[in-house]
Amino acid sequence: MRQFIKRNLAFARLGIQTNLEYRFNFFIDAAVQPAMTALIEIFLWIALFAALKTETLNGFTKESYLSYVIWSSFIGRIAISWMYEHLMMDEIETGSINAIILRPMTFFEYYLSQLLGYKLVVFCFSVLVPLSIVFYYNLPTELGRLPAVTLMIFYYLIFIHAMSFLTACLAFFLNRVRSFTLVKNFSIYIMSGELFPLDLLPVFWKNIFLKLPFSSGVYLPVGYLTGRVDTELFLQGFTNITYGLMVVLTISYFVWKKGLGSYSGTGA
């Protein structure tokens, strides 16, 4: 166990170190993009309420929506892993994976720890953006809930990484699987509640989405932080992630085994 922790802390440091090597890219990713996304969302929702000439929408005020979209654009960007998904696919497609699987470690943990390390740093930098905006506009946010929300986001990241791992494993069988990533990420974008709050969906669909683990990526943590979601529903999110993880990891295990069996050690 000591060795496992030591090794994975080293991978987490690698994730941070590698990304800090490319300072400009990191600055854009951790500061510029969250700020721009937040500004676009603010203007969009202010315009929407102005056009509708209403004070509330589905029972929530303009300030509530603004708070939701500010936090959802921030959390949605943290709770996604397309970059590491593409890296994993590249490793399999080009054969660079050889250097990983011939060492006493697993491909899954290697990328998971890097992902968590990198996201932790991005989180610490980028959280200043939504915090500044909610303070400036005095938007409803229960900051005391931020630690619990952070915990859920990082637990959800393990689930998201498992999804990415499963998708990347398809590269053992198919030469190009990026189109699948795009479709998958867009589906998650809707089901997680990042595109719009799940409250805007018909009750039937909302209830289905709330039972899926994806809502724990954006809707539940953001809803809990902005006061839309109660503690009981929020805690249900952890259970949903656990079930989701069990299913995805089980499928991944078999796909990985099958994939390695058909792998030809490309490029070596």
Binding residues (CB under 8 A) for other proteins: these are 3, 6-7, 9-11, 14, 17-18, 21-22, 95-96, 98-99, 101-105, 260-261, 263-265, 267-268
Residue 104 C-beta: closest distance to other proteins, Å? 4
Residue 99 C-beta: closest distance to other proteins, Å? 5
Of 186 and 254, which has the nearer Cβ to other proteins? 254
Of 4 and 137, which has the nearer Cβ to other proteins? 4
Q: What is the DSSP letter of 218?
A: T
Of 185 and 266, which has the nearer Cβ to other proteins? 266
Residue 267 C-beta: closest distance to other proteins, Å? 6
Of 88 and 134, which has the nearer Cβ to other proteins? 88
Of 148 and 260, which has the nearer Cβ to other proteins? 260
Residue 115 C-beta: closest distance to other proteins, Å? 16
> What whole-number distance in Å separates Cα of residue 72 and Cα of residue 38?
9
Phi, psi angle pair for 55, to nearest 5°: -95, -25
91, 141 in Cβ contact below 8 A? no
> What whole-number distance in Å separates Cα of residue 224 and Cα of residue 243?
21
Element (H, E) at 65: helix 62-78
Residue ranges with strand state E in the chain:
56-57, 60-61
83's CB contacts (< 8 A; 6+ apart) are none
Element (H, E) at 61: strand 60-61
Residue 260 C-beta: closest distance to other proteins, Å? 8
